[in-house]
Structure 1
Amino acid sequence: MTDPLALDAADPLAHFRDRFLAADGVASYLDGNSLGRPLKATADLMDEFIRRQWANRLIQGWTDGWLEWPLTLGDRLGAIALGAAPGQVVVADSTTVLIYKLARAAVDARPGRRRVVLDTDNFPTDRYVLEGIAAERGLELVWISVSPEEGVDPAQVAEVVDERTAMVLFSHVAYRSGWLADVAEINRIAHEAGALTMWDLCHSAGSVPIELDAWGVDLAVGCTYKYLNGGPGAPAFAYMRADLLGELHQPIQGWMGHRASFEMGPGYEPAKGSRALLSGTPPILAMVPLHANLDVLEEATIEAVRAKSLLLTSYALDLADEWLVPHGVEVVSPRTPARRGGHITLKRPGFEQLLEPLWAAGVIPDYRRPDGLRIGPAPLSTSFAEVHHGLSTLRTLL
């Protein structure tokens, strides 16, 4: 077994760990795929924003650029992490609200097509939102049944997508297994049938290189509190391909999406471009951390982050095979790097009872029913020694 200290010594991203705030009593944080650690720079930015910008500028801050943050941060996020040209990404709302906005816009833009394709193991929010839209619009949901250990395969999509399909919605990285979908090929299949494609990027943004423009993605939504370290409840982001802006109309018509917000006039007239995806007042305070996080990701590069992510999850798989499988643990994540996202899942009956003793020992993984323990190392803040210590503790408890 490779020495974790040797792996850390050879890690070109190791110095980034010092930029994160340490957690008292936590020896191994393996849940970066659920909530990222805060940067030291984030604490400084929040203090500076509150004490200087908010306190001193007050309402004048809106004219200092706050109103443009949803667009400027969206463009920067698109360039650094999403492979999206300017004018297509906005930061706003929650993942759930943005999924509703874009999905409703998509199905309304394909009148006469009554089917929406999704998979049975997608994240609950995605499924619940589409169930609600189907009830609103009289649509039929077409379910692709996938194994929780894997994810959606292009061949499965090809079997069910046809001229009746308005939209497909899948996750780039499956939240349970970590399966990395073949976005470009699934897009090709859906587009040949005339359907729009929408992707949930929550478990890939900031961890896996994404090429929304190059892959021909129509719509995408993701969160910023996992690998992008935006903090609990940080705002989400939405992507709409440039040539669809103006053709698709999101249904939550708020004043920030109006062509002239401060005219306060009668009737809704959508703004041009990606601003039309906005609805209410931007969550400015909650956007502050994203400035620091994008600085760090830009410096590190998403390619280097992905390279370390694969090393971390490969190391975790090696430890699991040697230490945990003999104790009845099953690995339920892809072993092929090209099909694996940034986390792996271990399965064994009774794992839920181990959460409290793991936390007491300073080891924090993530649990997903039934019997799944997710190991989600965040490449910029997690060391190989942390992974070694966490799985060693788990072995001892087993």
Structure 2
Amino acid sequence: MTTDQQTQRPQAAQLDAADPLATQREAFYTPDAGQLTSYLDGNSLGRPLKATAANLQNFVHDAWGSRLIRGWDEQWMDEPTRVGDRIGEVTLGAAAGQVTVGDSTSVMLYKLIRAAVDAQPGRDEIIIDRDNFPTDRFIIEGIAAERGATIKWIAPNPASGVRPADLDGILGERTAVVVLSHVAYRSGFLADAPGITNAVHRAGALMLWDLCHSVGSVPMELDAWGVDLAVGCTYKYLNGGPGSPAFAYVNAARQNRLQQPIWGWMGADNPFGMTEAYRPAEGIRRFITGTPPVLAMQPIKDMVELIASVGMDAVREKSINLTEYAIRLADELLVPMGAAIVSPRNAAERGSHITVDHPMFRDVTAKLWERGVIPDFRPPHGLRIGLSPLSTSYAEVELGVTAIRDALAELQ
């Protein structure tokens, strides 16, 4: 890197000093010095909050240890919808009564996609893109096999993602549901959710958005956009921890029209009636199946409140600034070594991670992990730099991208 390039690019220390969210990093647990020097994978697993350790201990001692089974009557029966309402309010632009927490992302996707297909007789086509996350594609392949449905595949430009025009000629009177990721897991492309949703509705179909890589990093207005269905995980930017439960959004106008396929007692209208036949509850509760993971919801609550305290607009501004900085570093340090940035240059079309491709990045990632620098690798050649706005510093980004350059130089 030349002196001129160094002059053109702001220094990390200056950016951190001017960052209005810099103090928020103190809320997160960080390993001791020497164990980790740069964490660039917050888009896969967020750091734990310090408050969560104390809050979990209190939960064990009080809500669980002291109240025991009484906790179900006192608060836990409503925990999936109470936590869901708060996620909806703070991060999704969703009014109360439309979000519930529980199950894994895969199970939530299955329940909502299957319900969308079954609710529309005569519509037997499911649309998804070939670059979507494997779980989404696999779930749809399974549902298509079960229901005799046809999959219509979109093949977008991997670096630019699915745009409204990509649906031209694919949407039709047989389309039941369209399933797309709001932020693409590989490139970080941010889709035009309102534009695509409108196009799907004009065809008479339902729209399901996978929010796993956008919730907690990109502001959303699901109600205003008219979104029908959405599913998101909570262990990335909502910092719920490994395996924390997913959430489902079902627009209030669609709830009583849809019948989810996995019937369980917690989704029945009278769970403790021990009735002979299943009768679904009214509203969002009908999308619950089994006993909700109450303990696993507690860390999510901590992160949602932290996000609420700063606001999603501030989170998004920091996210854009971090990814812009990462792109400048990659242009200066990695592109001259044969790497290629495959994420959108336009911040309005980019989530909170960028991907850089190089044939040697699998080996580079393994070397970096040994040194406490943690990016993420996605085949065939993609190294993802995931930047969680409230826990990532500019210095951490600079250190990490510099380490990527050094490891690549050693291997070339």
Question: Shorter-chain TM-score: what band?
Answer: over 0.9
Residue in structure 2 matched with residue 12 of structure 1 by the alignment: 20
Number of aligned residue pairs: give it: 398
Cα distance, 1:51 vs structure 2? 1.8
Q: Distance in 1 between matches of 2:31 and 2:168?
A: 47
* 1:116-159 alpha-carbon deviations (Å, 9 max, x no partner): 11000000000000000000010000000123222101101122
**Which one of 54, 64, 73 corresponds to residue 54 of structure 1?**
64
* 1:42-68 alpha-carbon deviations (Å, 9 max, x no partner): 111111111222111111111120110
Residue in structure 1 matched with residue 77 of structure 2 by the alignment: 67
Q: Distance in 2 between matches of 1:52 and 1:257?
A: 27
Q: Distance in 2 between matches of 1:23 and 1:216?
A: 42
Residue 288 of structure 2 corresponds to residue 261 of structure 1: no
> Which amino acid is the alignment partner of residue 14 of structure 1?
A
Q: Distance in 2 between matches of 1:101 and 1:91?
A: 13
Cα distance, 1:359 vs structure 2? 1.4
Residue 102 of structure 2 corresponds to residue 92 of structure 1: yes
Residue in structure 1 matched with residue 115 of structure 2 by the alignment: 105
Q: Distance in 2 between matches of 1:143 and 1:23?
A: 43
* 1:66-93 alpha-carbon deviations (Å, 9 max, x no partner): 1101001100100000000000000110
Deviates more, 1:357-366 or 1:325-334: 357-366
Q: Unpaired runs of 5+ in structure 2?
A: 1-8
> Which amino acid is the alignment partner of residue 365 of structure 2?
L
Residue 129 of structure 2 corresponds to residue 119 of structure 1: yes
Residue in structure 1 matched with residue 352 of structure 2 by the alignment: 342
Q: Distance in 2 between matches of 1:2 and 1:106?
A: 49
* 1:342-377 alpha-carbon deviations (Å, 9 max, x no partner): 100000001111122211221100100001000001
**Which one of 68, 75, 78 corresponds to residue 88 of structure 2?**
78
SS of structure 2 residue aligned to 1:317: helix
Deviates more, 1:143-152 or 1:185-194: 143-152
Residue in structure 1 matched with residue 400 of structure 2 by the alignment: 390
Residue in structure 2 matched with residue 380 of structure 1 by the alignment: 390
**Which one of 351, 355, 361 corresponds to residue 351 of structure 1?**
361
Q: Distance in 1 between matches of 2:251 and 2:397?
A: 38
* 1:281-330 alpha-carbon deviations (Å, 9 max, x no partner): 01011011011111101001111000000000000000000111000010
Residue in structure 2 matched with residue 274 of structure 1 by the alignment: 284
Residue 195 of structure 2 corresponds to residue 217 of structure 1: no
Residue 163 of structure 2 corresponds to residue 153 of structure 1: yes
Residue in structure 1 matched with residue 249 of structure 2 by the alignment: 239
Cα distance, 1:397 vs structure 2? 1.5
Q: Distance in 2 between matches of 1:172 and 1:197?
A: 11
Q: Distance in 2 between matches of 1:236 and 1:163?
A: 31
* RMSD, aligned α-carbons: 0.7
Q: Distance in 1 between matches of 2:156 and 2:359?
A: 21
Residue in structure 1 matched with residue 196 of structure 2 by the alignment: 186
Counterparts of 1:266-305 in structure 2, within 5 Å, are 266-305=276-315
Q: Distance in 1 between matches of 2:39 and 2:81?
A: 33
CA contact (8 A) 2:365 2:383 kept: no
> Alignment identity in percent?
57
**Which one of 6, 11, 14 corresponds to residue 3 of structure 1?**
11
* 1:91-112 alpha-carbon deviations (Å, 9 max, x no partner): 1101000000000110011110
Residue 186 of structure 2 corresponds to residue 166 of structure 1: no
SS of structure 2 residue aligned to 1:199: strand
Q: Distance in 2 between matches of 1:51 and 1:159?
A: 58
Using the size of structure 2 for normalisation, the TM-score is: 0.96
Residue in structure 2 matched with residue 251 of structure 1 by the alignment: 261
Residue 215 of structure 2 corresponds to residue 199 of structure 1: no
Residue in structure 2 matched with residue 228 of structure 1 by the alignment: 238
Q: Distance in 2 between matches of 1:39 and 1:220?
A: 26
Residue in structure 1 matched with residue 139 of structure 2 by the alignment: 129
Using the size of structure 1 for normalisation, the TM-score is: 0.99
Residue in structure 1 matched with residue 186 of structure 2 by the alignment: 176
Q: Unpaired runs of 5+ in structure 1?
A: none
Q: Distance in 1 between matches of 2:251 and 2:371?
A: 47
Q: Distance in 2 between matches of 1:64 and 1:366?
A: 42
Residue in structure 2 matched with residue 139 of structure 1 by the alignment: 149
Deviates more, 1:51-60 or 1:99-108: 51-60
SS of structure 2 residue aligned to 1:48: helix
> Which amino acid is the alignment partner of residue 311 of structure 1?
N
> Which amino acid is the alignment partner of residue 369 of structure 1?
P
Q: Distance in 2 between matches of 1:117 and 1:356?
A: 36
SS of structure 2 residue aligned to 1:346: strand
Q: Distance in 2 between matches of 1:169 and 1:243?
A: 19
**Which one of 331, 340, 362 corresponds to residue 372 of structure 2?**
362
* 1:19-62 alpha-carbon deviations (Å, 9 max, x no partner): 10112311110000000000001111111111222111111111
Q: Distance in 1 between matches of 2:157 and 2:96?
A: 37
